[in-house]
A and B are shown apart, each in its own frame.
Chain A
Amino acid sequence: MFEFLSLNFAVAGGLLASIPFVLHLLRRTPARTVPFTMVRFLKETLPKTTRRSSPEHWPLMLLRILAVVLLGMAFSRPFQRLSIEQDDDVQSGQRVAVLIDSSASMRRDGIRDQVLQKFHSLADSLSNDDVLSVAVYSSATSSLISAEEWQQTPSETRSALLQRIDELWEPDWSSTETATAMLSTAEELSRETAGGGAVREKVLVVITDFQNGSRLQQLQSSAWPENVRIDLQVVQATPGGNAGISLLRENNSDRVRVTSAGDSTRSQFRLQPFDANGQPLGKPITVDIAPGQRRTVTLPSTGQTPAAGVELLDDPHPFDNVIDLPTAETPVRAIGHLGSTDPNDSEQMRYYLQRALDGDETLLPQLSDLQTADGTIVPPPRETRLIIVTGTPSQPAVQSLESALASGRNLLIALDSVEMARALQPLLPADCEVTEADVDDYAMFTAPDLEAPLLRPFADARFSDFSSIRIWKHRKLKLAADDDQPPRILVRFDNGDPAIVEYSKSGSGRVFLSMTGWHPTDSQWALSSRFPPLLNRLLELSWPNESELQILEVGSTLSPEFLADTDWTLTRPDESTISASQMSADSEGESLRRTLVLDQPGRWRLTMPASTGTQEVEFLVNVSAAESRTEPLPAGQLQALGLSADIAAIENDLESTADAATRKARLNAEELESRQKIWRLFLLAAMACLLAEALLSRRIERRQSTTEAAA
């Protein structure tokens, strides 16, 4: 006999079947229409209904009752239990892939025990034919037990394999990329073909805290493989609720963002700054914040002793409660200048240079004159790495520039006259010839070399047009034809002459030579929107690796430009170090990747040799703010993201064994029902009944009308 998945529909069908019976007992007398003349003398009466003791047109009534009952049965999803045992005998085991969340939020109290308990109870329920694989995921997925390993291990010794999870599974500090992990694992599962025969079912078991910051959105935009079912096992921390902090840096001031999870029970927390030794500095700051909200707090000054970090107090789960604050001062970009010393003379290039550099708030450049008004030469400060020459220098000044160039400093020379070129002859390309150009009306910059490091920021087509800059006067540079290392022509004038060239003379310093100035006498260059970015790029090239403090999230990878040097040392927050020599000795790709990922929160320091000594770059690595949003997502979240209820079953840790058995039986029944599709037969039978009913009722109607006509 049949069983039903949704018995309600069958019951409803049975109840509704009584309606045709009642309607056939109650008969409204059909009123014949007759023409009449004295209608205005008639008084209207309501049509009468008569009740009969036996139904009228009982074959019609039976057809109608049958159609209603069959429809109800079709909707109640019938199936036959008989075939399941046979199927089980024929089919082999199921393929189970377990994904265990190892993100930072899984560090909360009470979660580890639940994870292991759920995993082992799942492993215990597997039969010998089932194939298991286990992987952990946070921002990336890594396998702990592969399916091949499971299959090759004899069933007696598999318990030892399972014990490995207890040792190997440890939450890291990364954020949770649940959707990525689920999709990639499900994709592998769906493509996988069983070696030993047909697999009855492919199940992806995800053991997770299913927190709000799980990043599930990708599930919505991706197609889920139909043959992979999800079994979501949710674990919950005890006690619930959480709050976390993350660092924001804006305009060189330190601000802390406090995030409270939606299930927090507290609404007041304290922020305690501490020094480099971990000792509290001053009184804690009280922060009021409602559950589910976040708030940004500007840290007050801690006086003489700078704060090395901040800790959030009164939160039950401390994994995201400590951040480090930047201690290193932002280095000053000292730029030397040779030329006019009057900062307010708008006819001179220095005036525009000062204004363009003042607008740069991130690099904080400082322009200083290397020659005083009375002609005294000031040696460039030690930290100076860029010297800009805008006027004709004296002979000692040229010598000073030569030595600066030799020591690795960069030069930007803007030639405003042929005399200036003569004075700077030792610094110009070898055997070149500079003459005043004959400009008809105005000249333009063309053909920028966008591959050159100086112009690379302008490579986008939106910014690569320099032709809007009008040049009234410029110098003509004729380069020697037999130069072994010819200068690189970065920009040309529209007549083909070089406009800006780059070359090196001696040492590691580079010379950028412009054949025109940016002051009004020569051009409109200073007015152009290309001028400040060009100077900024020059600063970046002069101070390559200590451009800014890096605030990153756990899981970030170090940019390769930091590791371009051959000798560097990376110090982790726990003071362990990694050096370039270790990296080159280890040729394994996996090891390389793991090393370069910043996998701990705290202060990382990268030390590199530099021309001016040792250079240190500091990385402040925080736990992702999403990990602090620990409130569990609603049970229907997977369905809301487009996964059908058949695919995604959610089990929380409160489910009893009896409930689990019931759920399993129901899943089996659903599988049987979806395989047998008996509802189609019922639906067809109902349609046949309705068709027969239509034919019969039409026949009866025709017979009645014939009788009436005869009457």
Chain B
Amino acid sequence: MSAELMNPSVIMAIRSLELRARLIVDGFRTGLNRSNRHGFSVEFSEYRQYTRGDDPRFLDWKLFARSDRSYIRLFEDETNLRCNILLDISRSMTFQSLDWSKWNYASTLAASLAWLLNRQGDAVGLTLYDDHIREVIPARYRPGHFRRLLVTMERAAAGQLTDTAGALRDAAERLQKRGLVILISDLLSPADELQDSLRALRGCGHDVVVMQVLDPAEISLSFSEPLRFEDLETALQIHADPDSIRDDYIARITEHNQQLQRECEAAGAIYRQFRTDQPLELGLAEFLQARREFR
């Protein structure tokens, strides 16, 4: 399967976010099942006898006038999934040791997911945050909505500090209808802060998928010479010799990620980690896998 996957460097070389998303999704040939549940839409499906408790707005008043019978018009339900993507735009997302940054990778991943869901007819929303929520596009399924999401992501400026837990709490208050929440972030803030926010989201009935995007250099500290490291968000400077502290660093970051995973699982969320040198299709596969887990 991996041989068929596209090299991320090829994908990331494409400037258009839309084209990148389409390429990834189109190349990802997995059966997409149309929803078999009825809903309320413009496309008529059938009539059904009105029973008490049905919404009277959907009564067929003309038929009632003609036949004095009450029928409910049923329409083909185009979507019943509302997906909200929470995308981290803090300054730490601009880090890159490859030719593309974590932000490039995360936004491409978000666009691909949005396109995939859009093609399924699901409503997709987007929330950009750093230390607070910067921009919110409610979940919709309508022509031009996908393009609006893309434009929003393309013009997003890098923020400052990160407060993922706060953003999740805000999102829990804003998202009235239950649905799927996908969090895409590098999740550098302490792991124990996340659990309450995740539980709040889950308590509102949302399914939550946490996608952590990390640069390979962040995982393995792949620097060869002593350097002065400057924190992208706090500007704190530390002189360190990577060769001498690498093992310690890897142990710490691994511990952090494992704790993240434990917190997510404890809150009923699904945790997936992505390296920016991994093919993006893996992300889609992980997403579908996660969806299946929720069902």
CA distance A38 to B221 in the complex (A): 9
Are A34 and B230 in touch, CB under 8 angstroms? yes
CA distance A42 to B256 in the complex (A): 13
A41 within 8 Å of B (CB atoms): yes
Are A41 and B232 in touch, CB under 8 angstroms? no
Are B238 and A42 in touch, CB under 8 angstroms? yes
B56 within 8 Å of A (CB atoms): no
CA distance A39 to B188 in the complex (A): 10
Known A45-B226, A45-B244; contact A36-B239, beta-carbon cutoff 8 A = no
Are B229 and A39 in touch, CB under 8 angstroms? yes
Known A37-B95, A41-B256; contact A32-B227, beta-carbon cutoff 8 A = yes
Contacts of B248 in A (CB 8 A): 43
State which of A36, A41, A46 has its C-beta within 8 Å of the C-beta of B253.
A41
Are A36 and B229 in touch, CB under 8 angstroms? yes
Are B188 and A38 in touch, CB under 8 angstroms? yes
CA distance A34 to B228 in the complex (A): 6
State which of B237, B240, B253 has its C-beta within 8 Å of the C-beta of A45.
B240
B245 within 8 Å of A (CB atoms): yes
Q: When each residue 221-236 of chain B gets 1 if its CB lies under 8 Å from chain A and 0 otherwise, what string results?
A: 0010111111111101
Contacts of A41 in B (CB 8 A): 249, 252-253, 256
Q: Tell me if B's interface is mostly helix, strand, loop or mixed.
A: mixed
Contacts of A37 in B (CB 8 A): 92, 95, 186, 188, 215, 218, 231-233
| A633 to B: closest C-beta gap in Å | 63
State which of B186, B215, B225, B230 has its C-beta within 8 Å of the C-beta of A39.
B230
Contacts of B43 in A (CB 8 A): none
| A48 to B: closest C-beta gap in Å | 6
Are A35 and B228 in touch, CB under 8 angstroms? no
Q: Which of A13-51 contact B (CB under 8 A)?
A: 29, 31-48
Are B249 and A45 in touch, CB under 8 angstroms? no
Contacts of A38 in B (CB 8 A): 188, 218, 249, 253
B241 within 8 Å of A (CB atoms): yes
Closest to A32 in B: B227
Are B226 and A48 in touch, CB under 8 angstroms? yes
CA distance A36 to B241 in the complex (A): 14
Q: Which of A114-171 contact B (CB under 8 A)?
A: none
| B171 to A: closest C-beta gap in Å | 23
Are A39 and B223 in touch, CB under 8 angstroms? no
Known A44-B238, A45-B239, A48-B241; contact A33-B228, beta-carbon cutoff 8 A = yes
Are B230 and A33 in touch, CB under 8 angstroms? yes
Contacts of A33 in B (CB 8 A): 227-230, 237
A-B contact count (CB 8 A): 76
Are A35 and B225 in touch, CB under 8 angstroms? no
Known A41-B253, A41-B256; contact A34-B223, beta-carbon cutoff 8 A = yes
| B235 to A: closest C-beta gap in Å | 9
Q: When each residue 495-512 of chain A gets 1 if its CB lies under 8 Å from chain B and 0 otherwise, what string results?
A: 000000000000000000
| A708 to B: closest C-beta gap in Å | 11
Closest to A36 in B: B229
CA distance A31 to B229 in the complex (A): 9
Are B231 and A36 in touch, CB under 8 angstroms? yes
CA distance A43 to B238 in the complex (A): 8
Contacts of B225 in A (CB 8 A): 29, 32
Are A42 and B245 in touch, CB under 8 angstroms? yes
| A28 to B: closest C-beta gap in Å | 11
CA distance A31 to B223 in the complex (A): 13
Closest to B218 in A: A38
Q: When each residue 39-67 of chain A gets 1 if its CB lies under 8 Å from chain B and 0 otherwise, what string results?
A: 11111111110000000000000000000
State which of B215, B223, B239, B244 has its C-beta within 8 Å of the C-beta of A47.
B239
Are B231 and A31 in touch, CB under 8 angstroms? no
CA distance A115 to B109 in the complex (A): 110
State which of B92, B229, B234 has its C-beta within 8 Å of the C-beta of A42.
B229
Are A31 and B95 in touch, CB under 8 angstroms? no
| B294 to A: closest C-beta gap in Å | 30
Are A31 and B239 in touch, CB under 8 angstroms? yes
CA distance A33 to B92 in the complex (A): 16
Contacts of B95 in A (CB 8 A): 35-37
Are A29 and B230 in touch, CB under 8 angstroms? no
| B212 to A: closest C-beta gap in Å | 12
| B140 to A: closest C-beta gap in Å | 33
Are B226 and A47 in touch, CB under 8 angstroms? yes
| Residue among B229, B237, B244 with max Cβ neighbours from chain A (10 Å) | B229
| Residue among A32, A35, A46, A47 with max Cβ neighbours from chain B (10 Å) | A35
CA distance A35 to B91 in the complex (A): 11
Contacts of B256 in A (CB 8 A): 41
CA distance A38 to B231 in the complex (A): 7
CA distance A235 to B228 in the complex (A): 74
Q: When each residue 88-113 of chain B gets 1 if its CB lies under 8 Å from chain A and 0 otherwise, what string results?
A: 00001001000000000000000000
Sample of 7 A–B contacts (CB below 8 Å) = A31-B239, A34-B223, A39-B230, A39-B234, A45-B239, A45-B245, A47-B239
9 tightest A-B contacts by CB?
A: A39-B231, A36-B229, A37-B92, A31-B228, A33-B228, A41-B252, A37-B95, A45-B241, A43-B245
